[in-house]
Amino acid sequence: MGFGALVVGHAHPKLVEAVKHQVENGTLFGFESEDATKLAEVMCQRFNVDMVKFSSTGLEATSHAIRLARAYTGRRKILKFEGCYHGSHDSLLVSVKPTKARAGNPKHPTRVPASQGIPESFINETVIAPFNDLEAVNELMHENVDQVAGIILEPIPMNMGFIMPQKGFLEGLRKICDEYGCLLIFDEVKTCGKFYGGAEDAFHVKPDLKVMGKAVAGGLPLSVLAGKRPIMEQIVPGQIAHAGTFNANPLSVTAGIVTLTEILTKEKMGFVSELGNTLGKGCVEILEGVKVRATTQFLGLSGTIHFGVDRVANWRDFLEVDFGKWYTMYAAMLNRGIIPMGTGPDEQWTISVQHSKEDVEKYLEAFKEVAKEISQPSQAVPLVEAL
- Which residues are catalytic, by number? 85, 187, 214
Say how far apart CA 310 and CA 321 lie, in whole Å.
10
Based on the number of CB atoms within 10 Å of its own CB, is 26 exposed (0-12), middle (13-18) or buried (19 or more)? exposed
Based on the number of CB atoms within 10 Å of its own CB, is 257 exposed (0-12), middle (13-18) or buried (19 or more)? buried
Say how far apart CA 31 and CA 40 lie, in whole Å.
15
Say how far apart CA 259 and CA 272 lie, in whole Å.
15
Determine how many CB atoms are found less than 10 A away from the CB of residue 175. Answer: 15
Report yes or no: 152 and 225 within 8 Å, Cβ to Cβ.
no
Strand order in the sheet with 209-212: 51-55, 223-227, 209-212, 183-188, 148-153, 77-81, 126-129
Strand partners, 151: 79, 184
Say how far apart CA 173 and CA 152 lie, in whole Å.
10
Question: Cα–chain-centroid distance for residue 93?
Answer: 15
For 81, which DSSP code? Answer: E
Report yes or no: 254 and 28 within 8 Å, Cβ to Cβ.
no
Report yes or no: 227 and 233 within 8 Å, Cβ to Cβ.
no
Instruction: Look at residues 61, 89, 96, 29 and name the one whose alpha carbon lies nearest to residue 217.
Output: 61
